[in-house]
């Protein structure tokens, strides 16, 4: 009984505690949602519990007029009329109601932003001062103005004007005319400069580390350059942790020394994996990477991929050149065995490529390949030896492992060979591809894809299988098998074409955080004549956004061959 009594007393006490902490009903009418939210935040009465002492409630209710005025004026409403009512029920709980009739808000008539000191001639500062600034004709909002002031001073200081401060800040309100003027002045003071740059690391040569920085001692200070250095070092693959300290020295020199602390990252990386894709069937992968062969930053990478359709082994020796962030030289070699329903190929490749960023968004890679290929296409059995110079441009925005809402991938590759310089045939080939993710609301997006190719050739029969175009498969026209579309010989064997055109459009909609459904239409073909016989497949798909990336399961049906069964396509990899 004593135990039961204690439990009852505890439950009753908890009930009284909860009841005592339940806020009373405070209602507002005539206010927009942002105005009501601000009024509740500035009015202590709105958070008083239901059973608070009556004298306390009445005192706060009397003070609510001033709190309401502050809340409304903060968001530009200086003229309004209000009525309020306070009541108590029989249980002792109280409630309050506020009815507000708003007049027109105060709008900005003049906005004067002035930057003084050395920053007056800084074009970047002048441009930044226009960002987020209050706009003439907009409703006066004191909170937004305060945030703008703080942001502007911070932006000036981040440019190296560490002594910047507000010299004037005034908001003049004419409540009768419902107009306000803003006058803001920032005195920048002198601009500081970068001092010495020191690195703690001893695993890479100093000149290689210095190549990651876009600044040198004596250059004007810019916090953005520090961020770029941190990002470049972190993304290099050499380091496990990067820390940068940049603070003005206290010796009056107006210099900012930079101290970079680097911890070596994992030097050797091994990878192993297995999976399944419709085009290749069951597949296995092995990989080995040495991220740091020496203090010059040289690296080695090797890959083994095995499947019933496509098996490859390759190795790449690479080193930084010039700017180590975006200029690299690769020496590579590999062997590929490929067998499909339409062709067979055994190809050995040796080559060199030089990669560098043409712009921040575009990677340019000229290359030179030496290939030897034994192949069969249809009934044609042949060998090919080619020297292939080429150049590739590629740009990707929004490439992520998880589901992206917006982004795009674009690439253009131009390559060719001449029989006058040691190749078995002469050709010039241009291949372009693009894929876009376009958002339609919060949960729906459109994925659009296009692949185009054209070959100018001396003799098509002399082109090896790896140079010809084929269509069909997981990343081409779904509903058709891997590389089963293209021109055929007299016996109906697909032998590939000189041209390629495939297009796809897909609508994808989230049904939960990790799952989405999709509907798609693919069309296109490989061809030799411009009277193209486009093949079209339609289907539905399910996507699971796994920790390894999106896993796609598609069921597609070929419209141009209705007697064929539906085809299952399973793929893993990023959207772009």
Q: Rounded CA gap, 429 and 481, in Å?
A: 25
Per-domain residue ranges of the chain: 2-102, 107-187, 193-264, 268-572
Write down the pTM of the prediction.
0.74
In 117-192, the DSSP E strands lie at 165-174, 179-187
Q: In the block, which residue shows the tokens 């009841």?
A: 19
Q: Which of 97, 94, 98, 96 is nearest to 52 (CA)?
A: 94
pLDDT attached to residue 23: 61
pLDDT attached to residue 22: 57
- Show the low-confidence residues of the chain (pLDDT under 70): 1-24, 562-563
Indicate the helix (H) or strand (E) that contains 155.
helix 142-158
pLDDT attached to residue 388: 96
pLDDT attached to residue 76: 94
* CATH classification code of 268-572: 2.40.160.50
pLDDT attached to residue 500: 97
Pairing of strands 299-307, 427-440: unpaired
Q: Which fold has domain 2-102?
A: Ubiquitin-like (UB roll) (3.10.20)
Superfamily of domain 193-264 in CATH is: membrane protein fhac (3.10.20.310)
* CATH classification code of 107-187: 3.10.20.310
pLDDT attached to residue 257: 95
CB atoms within 10 A of CB 86: 18
CB atoms within 10 A of CB 154: 12
Q: Rounded CA gap, 469 and 526, in Å?
A: 6
Q: Rounded CA gap, 576 and 227, in Å?
A: 26
Task: Provide DSSP, 344-413.
Answer: EEEEEEEEEEEEEESSSS-EEEEEEEEEEEEEEETTEEEEEEEEEEEEEEEEEES--SS--SSEEEEEEE
Same fold, 107-187 and 268-572: no
Q: Rounded CA gap, 207 and 475, in Å?
A: 43
């Amino acid at each position: 009984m004593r135990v039961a009594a204690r439990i009852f007393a505890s439950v009753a006490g908890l009930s009284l505690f909860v009841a005592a902490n339940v806020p009373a009903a405070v209602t507002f009418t005539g206010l927009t949602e942002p105005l009501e939210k601000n009024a509740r935040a500035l009015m202590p009465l709105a958070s008083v519990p239901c059973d608070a002492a009556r004298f306390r409630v009445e005192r706060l209710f009397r003070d609510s007029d001033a709190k309401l005025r502050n809340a409304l004026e903060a968001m530009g409403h200086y003229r309004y009329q209000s009525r309020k009512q306070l009541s108590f029920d029989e249980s002792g709980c109280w409630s309050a109601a506020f009815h507000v009739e708003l007049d027109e808000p105060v709008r900005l008539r003049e906005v004067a932003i002035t930057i003084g000191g050395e920053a007056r001639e800084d074009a970047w500062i002048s441009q930044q001062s226009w960002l987020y600034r209050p706009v003439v004709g907009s409703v006066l909002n004191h909170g937004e103005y305060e945030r703008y002031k703080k942001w502007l001073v911070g932006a000036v200081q981040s440019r190296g004007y560490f002594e910047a401060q507000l010299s004037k800040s005034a908001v003049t309100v004419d409540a009768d005319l419902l107009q306000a003027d803003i006058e803001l002045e920032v005195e920048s003071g002198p601009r500081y400069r970068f001092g010495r740059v020191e690195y703690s690391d001893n695993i890479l040569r100093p000149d290689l580390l210095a190549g990651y920085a876009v600044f040198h001692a004596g250059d004007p200070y810019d916090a953005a350059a520090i961020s770029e250095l941190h990002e470049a070092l972190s993304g290099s693959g050499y380091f496990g942790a990067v820390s940068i300290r940049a603070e003005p020295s206290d010796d009056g020199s107006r210099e900012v020394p930079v101290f970079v602390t680097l911890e070596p990252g994992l030097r050797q990386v091994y990878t192993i994996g297995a999976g399944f894709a419709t085009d290749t069937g069951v597949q296995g992968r092995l990989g080995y990477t040495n991220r740091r062969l020496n203090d010059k930053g040289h690296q080695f990478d090797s890959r083994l991929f095995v499947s019933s359709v496509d098996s490859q082994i390759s190795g790449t020796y690479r080193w930084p050149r010039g700017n180590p962030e975006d200029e690299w030289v690769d020496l590579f070699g590999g062997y590929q065995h490929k067998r499909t329903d339409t062709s067979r190929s055994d190809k050995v490749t040796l080559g060199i490529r030089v990669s560098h960023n043409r712009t921040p968004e575009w990677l340019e890679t000229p290359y030179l390949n030496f290939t030897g290929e034994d192949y069969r296409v249809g009934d044609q059995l042949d060998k090919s030896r080619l020297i292939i110079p080429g150049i590739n441009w590629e740009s990707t925005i929004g490439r992520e492992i998880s589901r992206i809402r917006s982004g795009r991938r674009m690439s253009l590759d131009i390559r060719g060979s001449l029989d006058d310089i040691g190749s078995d045939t002469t050709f010039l080939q241009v291949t372009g591809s693009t894929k876009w993710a376009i958002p339609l609301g919060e949960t729906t997006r459109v994925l659009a894809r296009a692949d185009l190719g054209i070959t100018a050739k001396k003799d098509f029969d002399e082109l090896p299988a790896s140079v010809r175009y084929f269509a069909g498969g997981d990343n081409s026209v779904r509903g058709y098998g891997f590389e089963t579309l293209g021109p055929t010989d007299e016996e109906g064997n697909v032998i590939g074409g000189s041209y390629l055109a495939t297009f796809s459009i897909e609508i994808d909609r989230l049904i939960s955080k990790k799952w989405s459904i999709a509907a798609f239409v693919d069309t296109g073909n490989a061809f030799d004549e411009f009277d193209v016989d486009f093949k079209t497949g339609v289907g539905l798909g399910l996507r699971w956004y796994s920790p390894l990336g999106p896993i796609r399961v598609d069921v597609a049906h070929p419209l141009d061959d209705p007697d064929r069964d539906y085809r299952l396509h399973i793929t893993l990899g990023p959207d772009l």
